[in-house]
Homo-oligomer: A and B are copies of this chain.
């Protein structure tokens, strides 16, 4: 019997080796499935195959673990944005390219929200620390990427330099508002075709608003 037991034993190592990451990934998965509200540290540990207690070797407490989940979410979001940017095809004009890049950032943001709604909620729910600029906005992550894209829009001559200040907030408000409406279940935005159509309309709207004229 003891031989069988030893054979069936699933844990070859007493030390996990990468428990911290394993817990964060499992927690992220659980959050995405059922939301942060019903997330439990014990369940995450259980599924990783470790005692609930072991988590306290790596995290101060439950909220600390969720903070790590939020950070992982930010990293994933960044990947979405960069992937969307790199998928933009070449353009003949700098103006066309700059516009398409701005659209890509927006699309990446929305795609991330659609694919990981609960994760986005956790990221916005938890005030994890991030460097901010003088205006009180985060200098890393989507906000910074958006800023760079808007700079390009000025260089390309699409966005008048005089209208550049405050453009981040406008663009971010639109894209975040749209993503929020989508993940909060607005019926008209639940299927992809109408959602894409709404996104296009919204982008045109935002671009006109930003530039102060029809393109």
Residues of A bordering B, CB below 8 Å: 37, 124-125, 127, 132, 135-137, 166, 169-170, 172-178, 180-181, 184-190, 198, 201-202, 205-210, 212-214
Contacts and interface: CB of A to CB of B under 8 A. Distances in A.
A137 B187 contact: yes
A172 B184 CA distance: 13
A167 to B, nearest CB: 9
The SS class assigned to the A binding surface is helix
B174 A180 contact: no
- Number of copies of this protein chain within its complex: 2
Nearest to A209: B209
Nearest to A182: B173
Nearest to A137: B188
Contacts of A176: 177, 180-181
Contacts of A180: 176-177, 180
A173 B187 contact: no
Contact of A181 (B172, B184, B185): B172
Contact of A185 (B127, B166, B169, B207): B127
Nearest to A184: B124
Given A37-B37, A209-B206, A173 B169 contact: no
A212 B127 CA distance: 37
Contacts of A214: 212-213
Q: What 6 A-B pairs have minimum CB-CB distances, sorted nearest first? A: A177-B177, A209-B209, A136-B188, A136-B187, A173-B177, A205-B209
Contacts of A174: 173-174, 177
Contact of A186 (B137, B170, B202): B137
20 contacts: A124-B184, A127-B185, A132-B187, A135-B188, A136-B188, A136-B189, A136-B190, A169-B188, A170-B201, A170-B205, A173-B174, A173-B177, A173-B181, A174-B174, A176-B181, A177-B178, A180-B180, A206-B209, A207-B209, A208-B209
